[in-house]
Chain A
Amino acid sequence: MFDVAVIGAGVMGCSTALHLARAGMKVALLDRGAICREASGVNAGTLTMQMTRAALIPYALRAHAMWIDMGAWCAGGSVAALACPGLSVAFTDAEAALLETRATARRAAGAPIELVDGARARQIEPGLSAAALMAGHCPIDGFAAAYLTGRAFRGALVEAGVDLRENCAVTGIDPGFRLRTAAGPLAAKRVVLAGGVWLEEMAAWLGVRLPIKVLVNQLVVTEKMPPVMGTVLGIASGLLSLKQYPNGSVLIGGGWQGLGDRMRGGLAVLPEAMLGNMRLAAHTIPALRDARILRAWTGLEAETADALPAMGPIPGVPDAWIIGSVHSGYTSGPVMGRVLAQAIAGETPVLPLFPIDRLLEAKAA
């Protein structure tokens, strides 16, 4: 019998499982696929304070440090996280107004964001288009290579004694708890649901109705290029994320929607959305026009009704917990897993939970 079974091996599940194992629990971590192959492995890797919702700034600040220093707490694992300045750019007066509102809110929550004019922005980022009017500047933004997340966590999980069961789909949870899996039943005193967009299905296993919205985010990556930018860039509206990795490739994102759903996964990139996203990118960093596009893909991102995390105990089901649906959860993942692990272990969490009572609809029959 496991002390806890964590269902879903994305960044939330991995971080929770790792911290619980280090707290002395016997942990099983299950995933119907391989570790970190969904949102956690395919997202833009942006570690920015500027697109993080104000309420999540404290989490993002702590998690930023954890990502940068991942080797120290994750058995040498690395997602190649870099700290660098971030700029959120405005090209129109309307965008400038939006920028000021957002920056103010985030500053109030503790993020060191200053507003700079176009000339100063171009000093910070020389490749930035001359059409940029102003920008929000955060000196401590950064980014990571999301595809490294699985390998980064896996070694540490195994070393910590977590029983990692990949390609082991859970199909239901009976009281006790007794997880029904394709490989037979698995018994655990506690369960943690960490299934990203599939939290809705998972919650239903426990008779809880929690609607989760699915976003199908597109990303495009270029071929390796000479250096064209050094910051992590966004646009006031949030519709662009841009970063150039040390190997020269530039990753273009911003939440443009592709085709997909929970049942079929990320299905296809939509060329019109790709084109709009690329045009925004080239408008912001004109040198990108010279690049070749190598790959595009979609990833599924979860969002609750109020766009705030689902993180805490599951009401009415003792010893059942839930974590995820953070929207830009990758940024805060490591610290959220730690916080939940503290709560499960009976300690005082270093930051508040986000109890899901506020989100629940009438219990399923």
Chain B
Amino acid sequence: MLPLDATPVSGPQGQRVKRTGRAGFGAGARYAQAVADTLRIPGIQRAPLVGFSFAGQAVRAPLGENLAAALMAGGIRHLGEGPGGARAAVCLAGACQQCLVRIEGRIVQACRERVRDGLAVAPA
């Protein structure tokens, strides 16, 4: 078998689980607890954690991380309700417009924003 190009990281047993607190906005409690910051692939240097909020709920994530990803890692996937049902990140490429959130009163795509300290994010 030829060598794989996959990134070698520690398996599930080797990962440290960090708790991020209560269930996110509209997300199932069970999912949020299960996820609780285990979505970040371990063994990779990341920027220092900063605090931001979504719908008043505190979330911690590395400075500069993709906001949609940071929300997911914080157990928050359900970003709001649109005319067609739940809004959540679908494409992460700036196309689907389903990851809409509100920052400083303006609608933006979470997948095109980056985490910064003290960022207050609201549902769109």
Residues on A facing B (Cβ under 8 Å): 223, 290, 292
Report Cα–Cα, A223/B105, bound state, in Å. Answer: 14
- What residues of chain B lie closer than 8 Å to A292, measured between beta carbons? 106-107
When C-beta atoms are compared, the residue in chain B nearest to A223 turns out to be B107
A279 to B104, CA, bound (A): 21
**Residues from 79 to 99 in B contacting A, C-beta threshold 8 Å:** none
| Contact sample, A vs B, 5 pairs, CB 8 Å cutoff | A223-B107, A290-B105, A290-B106, A292-B106, A292-B107
CB neighbours of B105 from chain A (8 A): 290
A245 CB to closest chain B CB, in angstroms? 13
How far apart are the CA atoms of A259 and B107 in the complex, in Å?
30
- Bound form: Cα–Cα A222–B105 in Å: 15
- B positions within 8 Å CB-CB of A: 105-107
| A290 CA / B106 CA spacing, docked (Å) | 5
Query: Complex: how many Å from CA A224 to CA B41?
Result: 37
Q: Which residues on the B side are within 8 Å of A223 (C-beta)? A: 107
Q: Bound state CA distance, A132 and B23, in angstroms?
A: 48
Closest beta carbon of chain B to A80's beta carbon, Å: 16
**Chain A contact residues, majority secondary structure:** mixed
B residues near A290, Cβ cutoff 8 Å: 105-106
In the bound assembly, the distance between CA atoms of A351 and B106 in angstroms comes to 49
Shortest Cβ distance from B106 into A: residue: A290
Q: Using CB atoms, name the residue of chain B closest to A294.
A: B97
Closest Cβ–Cβ distance, residue B84 to chain A (whole Å): 13
The chain A residue sitting closest to B108, CB to CB, is A292
Q: Cα distance A84–B106 when bound, in Å?
A: 28
Residue on A nearest B82 in the bound complex, by CB: A224
Chain A residues whose C-beta falls within 8 Å of the C-beta of B106 in the assembled complex: 290, 292
Q: How far is the CA of A186 from the CA of B119 in the complex (A)?
A: 67
CB distance from B74 to the nearest CB of A (A): 25
Distance to closest chain B CB from A204 (angstroms): 46
- A290–B107 CA distance with the chains assembled, in angstroms: 8
Residues from chain A with Cβ under 8 Å of B107 in the complex: 223, 292
CB B122 to nearest CB in A, in angstroms, measures 12
Q: Across chains A and B, which 3 residue pairs bring their CB atoms closest together, nearest first? A: A290-B106, A290-B105, A292-B107
Q: How far is the CA of A292 from the CA of B109 in the complex (A)?
A: 11
CB distance from B111 to the nearest CB of A (A): 15
CA distance A292 to B107 in the complex (A): 7
Q: Complex Cα distance A223/B82, Å?
A: 13
Assembled-state Cα–Cα distance A313/B106 (Å):
54
Separation of A292 and B106 alpha carbons in the complex (Å)? 8
CA distance A134 to B43 in the complex (A): 66
Cα(A290)–Cα(B105), bound, Å: 7
A292 and B112 alpha carbons, distance in the complex (Å): 15
A72 CB to closest chain B CB (Å) equals: 29
Complexed CA–CA distance, A15 and B106 (Å): 42
Interchain nearest-CB distance for A17 vs B (Å): 34
Q: Give the CA-CA distance A145 to B107 in the complex, in Å.
A: 24
Q: How far does the alpha carbon of A217 sit from the alpha carbon of B105 in the complex, in Å?
A: 31
Q: How far is the CA of A269 from the CA of B106 in the complex (A)?
A: 25
A290 CA to B108 CA, complexed, in Å: 10
A224 to chain B, nearest CB (A): 9
Give the distance to chain B from A278, nearest Cβ to Cβ, in Å: 15
Docked Cα-Cα span, A292 to B103, in Å, equals 13
Quote the shortest CB–CB distance from A332 to chain B (angstroms). Answer: 33
